[in-house]
Amino acid sequence: MKTRITEMLGIQHPIFLSGMSWISVPEMVAAVSNAGGLGILATGPLSKEQTRESIHQIRRLTDKPFGANASLLFPGAVDSAKILLEEKVPVINFALGKGDWIVREAHQYGGKVMATVVNARHAKRAQDYGCDAVIATGNEAAAHGESVTTFCLIPSLVDALNIPVVAAGGIADGRGLAAAIALGADGVAMGTRIMTTKESPLHQNYKDLSRKMDTTDTIYSRRIDGLWCRVLKTDAAERMRRRGLNLPAAFFNSQEIAKMLHLPFIKLFFGVMLSGWKTARQLAFLANAFKAFRLATEAGDLKEGVLPVGQCTGLIHDEPTVKELFDRMVQEAEAIEKKMANIFG
């Protein structure tokens, strides 16, 4: 398949790995890139040193194009983004902040930059300061899609922009790939579907659980991590939604985050306090959510873990390799193209 995205990035398939904390690790990134897509490293849970080493590890595992993300709201994200620029990462994907400075510096070495957006206003702003493409996250997606569904969001952005649009949210097979292309997208990004592959480091407990769930078995709430967030419907997720913000827990969990990111806790604590109540409250939510997400992804804790997943969890029934998944998706999409040609021919 050839689209503006495959031509721009030099990849075989217009399929991205979404940058998911504790899942989009170097081995996973390389598996996706080696299968012809674009792997995107998640830097959210990484220190500066870990970010740099992860990039080096990816380069040892693949000679294909790859990317890395930076969620600019998170502690340490700006420092990690600077490492991505120093290492001349081919594709940088940023979210939850203004990345004009990333665009300027990446373009100096020929890198490409993509903003993750949820509406036309943010997408136009990203285009205005030079982003090469946007990843548009629909409501169906895991984690941080907002109110507009993929089916409406993609054509609205295609109409508003000149740069390529990559569709994220609700895509798990060749039908979703073909539908996204029909809506005007130049590619797709998948998280939930790729989480349940042989190469994925997601704990087997949650791979198995995800395959048992239906499209209705998710929770969409602002009481998980403070943003609109979609997660797998479990008892732990229901408790988290009912409880809302737990400030005492956030204080202790933020200490773990500081240790994880190799940041002095006192510096992190006072930086958060000085950021204002709205930002401090948001970061407190994130501190608690990070712990729950990590318990699910790494430890497979079915009692306390909470896993971000999209509604397409109900479309997942097997655990193929990444290459098997991509080859199957492309074959399905090509079959749909032929079927549609017969219908409209």
Please determine, for residue 34, whether its predicted confidence score (pLDDT) is greater than 70. yes
The total of other beta-carbon atoms located within 10 Å of residue 267's CB is: 11
Question: What confidence score (pLDDT) does residue 271 get?
Answer: 64
Please determine, for residue 278, whether its predicted confidence score (pLDDT) is greater than 80. no
Question: What confidence score (pLDDT) does residue 283 get?
Answer: 77
Nearest Cα residue to 284 out of 276, 123, 219, 326: 276
Question: What confidence score (pLDDT) does residue 269 get?
Answer: 59
Please determine, for residue 72, whether its predicted confidence score (pLDDT) is greater than 70. yes
Instruction: Please give the residue that has the higher pLDDT: either 236 or 269.
Output: 236
Please determine, for residue 194, whether its predicted confidence score (pLDDT) is greater than 70. yes
The residues near 274 (Cβ < 8 Å, ≥ 6 apart) are: none
Question: What confidence score (pLDDT) does residue 287 get?
Answer: 85
* Ranges 204-213, 219-228, 281-290: which has the least confidence: 281-290
**Which pLDDT band holds residue 188 (cuts at 50, 70, 90)?**
very high
Question: What confidence score (pLDDT) does residue 208 get?
Answer: 97
Please determine, for residue 266, whether its predicted confidence score (pLDDT) is greater than 90. no
Q: What is the mean pLDDT of residues 262-276?
A: 62
Q: Annotate the chain with three-state secondary structure.
A: CCCHHHHHHCCCCCEEECCCCCCCCHHHHHHHHHCCCEEEEECCCCCHHHHHHHHHHHHHHCCCCEEEEEECCCCCHHHHHHHHHHCCCCEEEEECCCCHHHHHHHHHCCCEEEEEECCHHHHHHHHHCCCCEEEEECCCCCECCCCCCHHHHHHHHHHHCCCCEEEECCCCCHHHHHHHHHCCCCEEEECHHHHCCCCCCCCHHHHHHHHHCCCCCEEEECCCCCCCEEEECCHHHHHHHHHCCCHHHHHHHHHHHHHHCCCCHHHHHHHHHHCCHHHHHHHHHHHHHHHHHHHHHCCCCCCCCCCECCHHHHHCCCCCCHHHHHHHHHHHHHHHHHHHHHHHC
* Class of domain 4-200+317-344 (CATH, top level): alpha beta
CA distance linking residue 54 with residue 39, whole number of Å: 13
Question: What confidence score (pLDDT) does residue 263 get?
Answer: 66
- Domain locations in the chain as residue ranges: 4-200+317-344, 205-297
Contact status, residue 25 vs residue 195, Cβ threshold 8 Å? no
**Which pLDDT band holds residue 96 (cuts at 50, 70, 90)?**
confident
Instruction: Please give the residue that has the higher pLDDT: either 38 or 280.
Output: 38
Please determine, for residue 270, whether its predicted confidence score (pLDDT) is greater than 60. no
